[in-house]
């Protein structure tokens, strides 16, 4: 069974305090790993897609990396507006539906 585990469940940081969020996955075959941001009561907002181990992508204060077993979302010098739940999801090979399998997310709070 495909599984995605995110840690920590919640993280509280001071503004400017850099940190990393972890996403571990166990899948039959990975087609893509996705990171999303979700604000309360809203749908997920796309951040990154990673396809192969060693790949890295950056956007503003966020950087996503991928290995064969896990992905990290690094946040550098975060601001209060970065507070949200960050979701990791995988798309697996051979799946007929092509839908995503999500982790439970990391609830990130950035304090001013």
Interface characters, 5-44, with another protein (x: CB under 8 A): -----------------------------x-x----xxxx
Q: Residue 72, interface with another protein (CB under 8 A)?
A: no
Cis? peptide before 8, omega within 30° of 0: yes
**Distance of alpha carbon 26 from alpha carbon 30, whole angstroms:** 9
Decide: is 60 part of the binding site for another protein (CB under 8 A).
no
- 43 versus 112: smaller Cβ distance to another protein: 43
Instruction: Considering only the stretches 15-23, 60-68, 74-82, 97-105, report the one whose residues sit in contact with another protein under the rule CB under 8 A.
Output: 97-105
Q: Residue 105's closest CA among 13, 27, 37?
A: 37
HSE (CB half, 13 Å, CA atoms) of 61?
15
Query: Does 94 help bind another protein (rule: CB under 8 A)?
Result: no
How many C-beta neighbours within 10 Å does residue 35 have?
23
Pick the binder of another protein from 7, 19, 22, 49 (CB under 8 A).
49
The residues of the shown chain that bind another protein, judged by CB under 8 A, are: 4, 34, 36, 41-49, 87, 89, 96-105
């Amino acid at each position: 069974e495909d599984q995605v585990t995110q840690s920590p469940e919640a993280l509280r940081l001071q503004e400017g305090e850099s940190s990393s969020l972890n996403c571990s996955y166990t899948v039959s075959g990975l087609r893509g790993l996705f990171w999303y941001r979700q604000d309360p009561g809203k749908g997920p907002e796309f951040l990154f897609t990673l396809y192969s181990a060693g790949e890295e992508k950056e956007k503003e204060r966020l950087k996503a990396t991928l290995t064969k077993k896990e992905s990290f979302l690094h946040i550098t010098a975060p601001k209060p507006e970065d507070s949200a739940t960050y979701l990791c999801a995988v798309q697996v090979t051979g799946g007929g539906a092509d839908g995503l399998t999500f982790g439970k997310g990391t609830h990130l709070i950035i304090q001013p």
